Amino acid sequence: MITAIYPGTFDPITLGHLDIINRAARIFDKLVVSVVMNIEKAPFFDIDERVELIKKVVADLPNVEVAFSIELLADFARQYENPVIIKGLRNHIDYEYETTMAVFNKKLNSQLETFFITAKLEYTYVSSTAVRQLAAYGADLSDYVPKIVSDEIDRKILNGR
């Protein structure tokens, strides 16, 4: 059995992320969506909120589980049999960054392989950062995130975060 791990901050999960999840779930036996911390970012949602939102969004995918990790991805992957890493690529900037990370991960865990899945054209410009910025101005988020996520963003903004 091959377990794919799709790591990210998912703050918030976007329709682009969900597309990568759906496509990877069709290819691999098991997909673990791993919510990670990014010390360079101040999160809109805390890690537990992100995990719960993603669980709701992927509830209809039986081979997908959601976890969180505060350790290096190469170390997190050791708990799974035949792990591979999934990375979504929107553009050449993502490619350059993610190939560097793939080399680091391979050096830290020689068993790891990284698979790149290119974003669908309609999601190449969608990022969690852009979604957070649009949300701050009250923009309609329906083209960028699942409704349950948009509703949760609205609730958080109304409650002063």
Residue 147: active-site member: no
Peptide bond into 12 cis (omega under 30): yes
Q: Given 41, 55, 78, 147, which residue is catalytic?
A: 41
Report yes or no on whether pTM surpasses 0.85: yes
Please list the ranges in the chain whose pLDDT falls under 50. Answer: none
Amino acid 48: pLDDT: 95
Residue 127: active-site member: no
Residue 41: active-site member: yes
83: which 2 tokens? 């792990």
Amino acid 159: pLDDT: 76
Task: Tell which phi-psi region holds residue 3, choosing left (phi > 0), alpha (psi between -120 and 50) or beta.
Answer: beta
CATH 3.40.50.720 at 3-158, yes or no: no
Q: Given 23, 90, 106, 120, which residue is catalytic?
A: 90
Residue 90: active-site member: yes
% of the chain beyond a pLDDT of 90? 90
Q: Given 17, 50, 87, 132, which residue is catalytic?
A: 17
Amino acid 161: pLDDT: 55
